[in-house]
C-alpha cells in the first residue's frame, strides 16, 4: 500500500471506517511497537473528508496508484 492508492475498509476496520465506501492513502509508514522489535504499518488516509491514521491491515487496495 502506497500513497495515492484507493482503498476500502475490510471486516477488521472499525465501524466509522466501514461507513466510508472508499478512501485515499496519503502516506504509509511503519511504527515500532514494544521491546520485541516488531512494527505495525500505519496509513494516513482520507475517509469521508476526514484524515485518519489507521492500521494498514484494516484496508484492501481497490485501485493502485501508478
Nearest residue to 12 via CA among 40, 48, 51, 50: 40
Q: What is the pLDDT of residue 1?
A: 87
Q: What is the pLDDT of residue 25?
A: 95
SS3 56: helix
Q: What is the pLDDT of residue 41?
A: 92
Q: What is the pLDDT of residue 66?
A: 72
What residues have CB less than 8 Å from 24, skipping those under 6 apart? 4, 5, 6, 7, 45, 46
Q: What is the pLDDT of residue 17?
A: 86
Q: What is the pLDDT of residue 8?
A: 94
Residue numbers in the chain where pLDDT is lower than 50: none
Amino acid at each position: 500500500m502506497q500513497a495515492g492508492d484507493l482503498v476500502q475498509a475490510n471486516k477488521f476496520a472499525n465501524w466509522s471506517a466501514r461507513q466510508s465506501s472508499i478512501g485515499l492513502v496519503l502516506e504509509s509508514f511503519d511504527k515500532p511497537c514494544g521491546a520485541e522489535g516488531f512494527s505495525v504499518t500505519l496509513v494516513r488516509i482520507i475517509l469521508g473528508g476526514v484524515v485518519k491514521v489507521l492500521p494498514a491491515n484494516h484496508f484492501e487496495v481497490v485501485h493502485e496508484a501508478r
